[in-house]
Amino acid sequence: MTGRLISYTIFCKDMMECVCRGHRFSKSLLLKGTAKLVGKGQMVFVICPLKSLERDQMLHAQEKGPEALAIDEDTEKSPKLWEQLRTTAQIVYLSLEMVLSDTFRNKVWKGTRIRRGLGAVFVDEAHCIDEWGEDDFQPQYRQLSTIRPLCEYDVPFIACTRKGGVVFSERGVF
């Protein structure tokens, strides 16, 4: 199943509900496999709902490759981090606030090099869009659609979750 999901991603297909069940590492395999296969100089963005999850996934990815980094409000001031993003990063874990921030807009979305090197955008734990997007806890989830026009036209958006029955596709999130 993971191989089929990677193929869909490589061929630029959006997936509104990618349920990663079964093997406990299937989501990691999907992210790492996509990062390896999108091509040299390409990367994938993974939008995470919680910083602790973002950092855990980054450390797990770094154990065996590919080159991974996490950018959020706590790390954004590091020039080395932004250099890694421009040169070696293959998986970039991002907080929701960071991907929607003016800092990210100015350093990433305004330049063409990183946008052209973007192979896919994953929204991790996508069931949070339904659970948190309606209240005051994470209202930024309702703004995710604003990043679609900032990407190249063929960048697939994939919503990953371990839960089924997610209905956010009706909301026009992507």
Check which CATH number belongs to the domain holding 127 and give it: 3.40.50.300
Verdict on whether the full-model pTM lies above 0.85: no
79 falls within a domain: yes
Task: Give me the mean pLDDT over the 109-117 stretch.
Answer: 82
Is 35 inside any structural domain? yes
Residue 99 within a domain: yes
pLDDT band at residue 136 under the 50/70/90 scheme: low
- Asked whether residue 143 carries a pLDDT value surpassing 60, the answer given is yes
HSE of 79 in the Cβ direction (CA atoms, 13 Å)? 0
Mean pLDDT score of the chain, rounded to an integer?
Answer: 76
**Mean pLDDT of all residues in 73-78:** 86
**DSSP strands (E only) in the chain:** 15-19, 43-48, 68-71, 91-95, 118-123, 157-161
Domain enclosing residue 109, as ranges: 2-163
Residue 168 lies in a domain: no
| Tally of domains in the chain | 1
